[in-house]
Amino acid sequence: TSPQYIRNFSIVAHIDHGKSTLADRLMEITGTVSFREMKEQLLDDMALERQRGITIKSHAVTMHYQYQGHKFELNLIDTPGHVDFQYEVSRSLTCCEGAVLLVDAFQGVEAQTVANAYAAMEHDLMIVPVMNKVDLTHARPDEVREEMEHTLAIHAEEVLGCSAKTGMGCKEVLEAVIERVPAPQGDPHATLQAMIFDAVYDEFRGAITYIRVMNGTVRKGQKIKFLQQGTTHEVIELGHFTPRRKATNSLAAGQVGYLICNIKTLDKVNIGDTVSVATGEPALKLPGYREPKRMVFCGLYPSDGQDFKQLREALDKLVINDPSFEFSPETSDALGFGFRCGFLGLLHMEIIQQRLEQEADIDLVQTAPNVTYEIVTKTGETMEVHTPQDVPDQGDIEEFRQPIVRVSFVLPTEYIGGIMKLCTDRRGTYVRTEYLSPTRAMLVYDLALADVIYDMHDKLKSTTRGYGTMDYELLGYEPGELVRMDILVKGERIDALSIVCDRRDADVRGRAVIKKLKEEIPRHMFEVPLQAAIGTRVIARENISAMRKNVTAKCYGGDISRKRKLWEKQKEGKKRMKSIGSVDIPQKAFLAVLETG
Ligand code: GTP
């Protein structure tokens, strides 16, 4: 296909505004089998692979559409919607000339709408603004159009309306993509220059590399070179995603597709690398992507020490499919052998944890998440710290820095006061307020990332009755009044319970953590004192008094099945406990420090 008849685009939207539904609808209009249908169809043959932990990840699809006498090739490149994966959005956008910016006709412009629109503009993409869900009886198309014009520098008259659900207006969206999005530039006869924008692992074929050809042509059997990695490979197969892999003989400038080169592991493929020729003068390297930054860390420990090997195997497998996640072994006095894991954000952490529990069937003890800190010691050394346990003693610290983020909240104006109070309570710095319409506003604050990841999202939702949304970007590291707070159980410091917090919050946090722990830790045959301390200074204490009666005593004379149930329940509970010294600490207690932020 001549580049003239190719269009490369993404759909960007706030979560739930209908991106997947619209993508399915476009595939239906173009007679392409949809991801959802394909999943169902493939379910049977893939059952085994699924059990082995392979996920079907679809990132791109090629569709064909006849328009004004020409056959167009339309490449839709997928972007994730969540704030944690913003770097993936930017990576997909590099391969496109245009983006459909989708906005829910009832919800209107939300935090990620703004973030995604800016990202698309930064990449100089042609934006096709579309309002979805116009079928809703409570849709407010005029106001939403106005919001889009006001915040996104879009002309209201350019906004298309559609319903991805009923199909109304979707054909027009497709045709607008053809008309408004520029054709890719590039010379099919020049030296090969292609961008690697993703890679997935296939158990049978090895690494499957996703590329967008910028210049030149890549052919089956050709020897190619990954410029950054410096490796050469032979192209064994290449083709398009329809969304199934469909082999072709070549991919030329402007086209999007895949390469299979007998590459055994994913770490041999650098996302953002440039593919060129193996012999002769290679093309210029394309600008790469920023490495994804792990912002949130936590410890993961098997609740039964023997599962350590199993946990390592499961993590090894996960990282193959998701290189943005990282882990390294760590030892805790309290929890034994485990791993320190780094995530892009809190949602990413939840996803990984869920997959581990589901796919690998391992009982995990997770420690409270923390952000990365930068510490300058008195000796002038700067260290990056991923766990509170590694924070040096107060006397050795010259400067203690934490990540600061710029947070944008989009919300109905009546909740501005509530969110301002929330941010002020967390020592946020006010940046600005922008009105999207008379009833909706965008509020911008700079806040410590630690405060944002713990519970900002929940607080936002409860303060705005679910109507507020947020997005954030990293600004950098700034010195803070931070301290490491330790927790002592029966006089022993439990390293996995240490947290970093603002000095001015320490007393309140300490008391709250101790109180929570008192609820979570069961009574023992002896008294268990609990303390919170900064260095040697105890800031809070409580006692769990000794137990007097046997638990089963209550059942005396009762029927035996009830007794058995009680025992089983205790056994079940035991499984998720850690014995530290002589004290049993349930898994939930390790998250106690979280709920008191
Ligand atoms: P994520 O994949 O979570 O980012 O969401 P998404 O943006 O892909 O949204 P998705 O397509 O899953 O749609 C979200 C919800 O909106 C679903 O329940 C859809 O059925 C519904 N929906 C999508 N388009 C329309 C529409 O045009 N009209 C109506 N009434 N509902 C729609």
Whether residue 431 is predicted with pLDDT greater than 80 in this model: the reply is yes
Helix, strand, coil percentages for the chain (3-state, nearest 5):
35, 35, 30
Name the residue with higher pLDDT: 258 or 366. Answer: 258
Amino acid at site 188:
P
pLDDT-derived band at 45, boundaries 50, 70, 90: very low
Name the residue with higher pLDDT: 199 or 52. Answer: 199
pLDDT-derived band at 142, boundaries 50, 70, 90: very high
- Strands of the sheet containing 6-13, edge to edge, are 60-67, 70-77, 6-13, 98-104, 126-132, 160-161
pLDDT-derived band at 467, boundaries 50, 70, 90: confident
Query: What is the tens place of the pLDDT at every residue in 210-246?
Result: 999 999 999 999 999 999 889 999 999 999 988 778 8
Cβ pair 371, 478 in contact under 8 A: no
Q: Does the C-beta of 15 come closer than 6 Å to ligand 1?
A: yes
pLDDT-derived band at 99, boundaries 50, 70, 90: very high
Tokens of 510: 């300490």
**C-alpha 12 – ligand 1 centre gap (Å):** 13
Tokens of 505: 């919050």
Tokens of 536: 């040697």
The confidence score (pLDDT) of residue 597 equals 45
Q: Which atom of ligand 1 is nearest to the CA of 136?
A: 30
In 3D, which of 459, 458, 450, 468 has the Cα closest to residue 409?
Answer: 468
Distance CA 264, CA 326 (A): 20
Name the residue with higher pLDDT: 259 or 201. Answer: 259
Whether residue 81 is predicted with pLDDT greater than 70 in this model: the reply is no
Q: Which atom of ligand 1 is nearest to the CA of 17?
A: 7
Amino acid at site 479:
P
Whether residue 548 is predicted with pLDDT greater than 70 in this model: the reply is no
Whether residue 400 is predicted with pLDDT greater than 90 in this model: the reply is yes
- Strands of the sheet containing 274-277, edge to edge, are 231-234, 223-226, 274-277, 193-202, 206-215, 256-260, 237-241, 245-248
The confidence score (pLDDT) of residue 360 equals 73
Distance CA 243, CA 208 (A): 14
Overall average pLDDT of the 494-508 stretch? 89
Distance CA 231, CA 286 (A): 16
Overall average pLDDT of the 513-542 stretch? 89
Name the residue with higher pLDDT: 459 or 99. Answer: 99
Going by alpha carbons, the residue nearest to atom 4 of ligand 1 is 15
Whether residue 558 is predicted with pLDDT greater than 50 in this model: the reply is no
CA distance readout (Å), 430 to 105, 424, 441 = 30, 8, 14
Overall average pLDDT of the 526-537 stretch? 91
Distance CA 589, CA 516 (A): 8
Binding site, residues? 16-21, 132-135
CB under 8 Å, gap of 24 or more: what pairs does 307-313 form?
A: 307/362, 307/363, 308/336, 308/337, 308/338, 310/360, 310/362, 311/338, 311/339, 311/356, 311/360, 311/362, 311/364, 312/339, 313/360
**C-alpha 108 – ligand 1 centre gap (Å):** 14
Q: Does the C-beta of 132 come closer than 6 Å to ligand 1?
A: yes
Tokens of 90: 């930017």
Query: What is the tens place of the pLDDT at every residue in 346-376?
Result: 778 877 887 787 777 777 888 888 899 999 9
By residue count, the chain amounts to: 597
Distance CA 556, CA 363 (A): 33
Write down the mean pLDDT value for the chain.
84
CB under 8 Å, gap of 24 or more: what pairs does 452-456 form?
A: 452/405, 452/407, 453/295, 453/296, 453/345, 453/346, 453/369, 453/371, 454/369, 454/594, 454/597, 455/597, 456/407, 456/422
Residue written as tokens 């965008």?
Answer: 442
Q: Which of 149-158, 319-328, 406-415 has the highest mean pLDDT?
A: 406-415
Q: Which of 111-115, 118-122, 179-183, 449-453 has the highest mean pLDDT?
A: 179-183
Identify which of 14, 15, 16 to mutate to test ligand 1's pocket (most ligand atoms within 8 A of the CB).
16
147, containing H or E segment = helix 141-152
Cis check for the bond before 243: say yes or no (omega within 30 of 0): yes
Whether residue 549 is predicted with pLDDT greater than 70 in this model: the reply is no
Going by alpha carbons, the residue nearest to atom 19 of ligand 1 is 18
Whether residue 320 is predicted with pLDDT greater than 80 in this model: the reply is no
Going by alpha carbons, the residue nearest to atom 14 of ligand 1 is 16
Among 128-132, 145-149, 376-380, 543-547, the range scoring the smallest mean pLDDT is 543-547
The confidence score (pLDDT) of residue 42 equals 47
The confidence score (pLDDT) of residue 353 equals 81
Residues β-bridged to residue 208: 200, 260
